[in-house]
Amino acid sequence: MPLDNPKLPTDKADDRPTLSGHSARLAKLTILLQDLIRQETELLQDRRPQEAKRLHGEKSRLMAEYKETIGKLKVNEYQLGEKDSRDRKYLRQLTDGLRETIRDHARVVLRLKSVTEGLIRSVGEEVSKKNSPVLGYGRNASMRATGPAKPTSLSLNQVI
């Protein structure tokens, strides 16, 4: 099972508390999820969205387990000790790292989305220009009557 031996951060090993139960599971899930999101972000930055798409199943599974574990910890909040306990501080540190990774991921996805939308808009405008009639003069220097332009639609429906 992937949760058996994930690596916990070893920097500042003295500050890391000995976690057990749901708090240990939350720490492991947070680390696994953060690593997976980093990997997906790198794949997107390297313009390999099909490879990034393969990670969705694992990411969804980890997110569901993460949400379930958070819910269990909220119900059994006493397991974390006092408000300023080492366990809580450590989990908060891990969660802050995950949030930062998610922010970086969101920036990359939004940037790629805006580039894609710009490309689609440009292609649509070019197609529209090609299909629109050219206004010009006919006989006797009068404007030529033009027929209605054909509607142009273009869409891309793909989830990354």
Q: Is the pTM of this model over 0.85?
A: no
Q: How far apart are CA 61 and CA 23, in angstroms?
A: 18
Q: Is the pLDDT of residue 6 over 60?
A: no
Q: What is the rounded average pLDDT for all residues in the chain?
A: 80
Q: Is the pLDDT of residue 3 over 50?
A: no
pLDDT in tens, 115-156: 888 888 888 888 877 776 666 666 777 766 555 556 666 666
Exposed (0-12), middle (13-18) or buried (19+): which is 9, by Cβ within 10 Å? Answer: middle
